[in-house]
Amino acid sequence: MALLYYRVDVVLERLDLTRSQWRRYLQAGLIAASGEPEKAGGPPRFTEADLRRARRTLRLERDLGLNLAGLEVAMRMIDQIEALRRQLAER
C-alpha cells in the first residue's frame, strides 16, 4: 500500500494548529517529517505516522497541560516504550 504524504498546510488544517505551534514542535524535535519533498529543496511532507505523533503531542499539551519540557520527556518515554514493544514482538 502506498504511503500518503501531506504538505504542512494540510497538516495544520487537519490538526487545527497554527504555524507557530507547528514550528515550536518541529524545533523542539517532538515531530519530524518522514516524507521526502516533492522537489529537491522543497518543503518537507508528512506521513500519517507523523500526524499520529503530532496528535499525541497535541493531546498531551491540551488535555494534560504539559509544557514543552514535559512534552519532550513524555514523548521520549513513549518512544522508548514503543521500541521495547517492537523488541518483544520480534522474540
Residues 25-84 pLDDT 10s: 999 999 998 877 777 777 888 999 999 999 999 999 999 999 999 999 999 999 999 999
Distance of CA 33 to the CA centre of its chain: 8
How is residue 30 written as a grid cell? 517532538
How is residue 44 written as a grid cell? 518537507
Nearest-angstrom CA–CA distance, 30 and 3? 21
First to last CA, the chain: 26
Nearest-angstrom CA–CA distance, 42 and 38? 6
Please tell me the total number of residues recorded for the chain in this structure. Answer: 91
How is residue 70 written as a grid cell? 514535559
Is residue 45 within 8 Å of residue 6, measured between CB atoms? yes
pTM score of the predicted model = 0.83
pLDDT for 2:
67
How is residue 20 written as a grid cell? 507557530
